[in-house]
């Protein structure tokens, strides 16, 4: 994958890590716009993502880099990457192969907790949560 717009040197990548050593990355399916997942990148995982054209993240629980789909085959091929206005969050548009979620769901965002049409939280999703205003 060739990067056309910016020469990504270590110095250029530092702009994304001014506030934290971890950068939130929202992954969206390029063909549908569906949000697939949110994960974190450190400097090395962002470099590998840019070098390979596939998503790499930093696991906060395992404290190591991971290539999305490395073991499952459910890879994310990068189509575009956007930075937000503060350079502290990335939006990654990707072509997803297979499910994005470790549960087997296509997206990690499948647990509905509130609906605008009735304004009520769904039973059992937010235990002991406040009642919605009537």
Give residue 114's pLDDT.
78
Q: Domain 10-96 belongs to what topology?
A: Ubiquitin-like (UB roll) (3.10.20)
Give residue 113's pLDDT.
82
Contacts of 95 (CB under 8 A, 6+ apart): 29, 30, 31, 76, 77, 79
Give residue 11's pLDDT.
79
Alpha helices by DSSP H, the chain: 10-13, 43-52
pLDDT in tens, the chain (134 residues): 444 555 677 778 999 999 999 999 999 999 999 999 999 999 999 999 999 999 999 999 999 999 999 999 999 999 999 999 999 999 999 999 999 999 999 999 999 887 766 666 655 554 444 444 44
| Domain boundaries defined on the chain | 10-96
- Residue 62 Cα to chain centre, angstroms: 17
């Amino acid at each position: 994958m060739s990067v056309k717009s910016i020469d990504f040197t270590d110095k250029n990548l530092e702009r994304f890590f001014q506030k934290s050593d971890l950068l939130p990355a929202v992954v969206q399916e390029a063909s549908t716009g569906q949000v697939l997942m949110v994960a974190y990148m450190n400097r090395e995982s962002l470099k590998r993502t840019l070098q390979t054209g596939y998503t790499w993240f930093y696991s906060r629980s395992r404290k190591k880099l991971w290539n999305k789909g490395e073991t499952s085959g459910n890879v994310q091929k990068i189509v575009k990457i956007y930075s937000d206005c503060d350079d502290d969050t990335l939006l990654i548009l990707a072509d997803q192969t297979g499910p994005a979620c470790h549960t087997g769901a296509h997206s990690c965002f499948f647990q509905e907790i509130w609906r605008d049409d009735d304004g009520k939280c769904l039973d059992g999703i937010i235990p002991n949560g406040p009642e919605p205003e009537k």
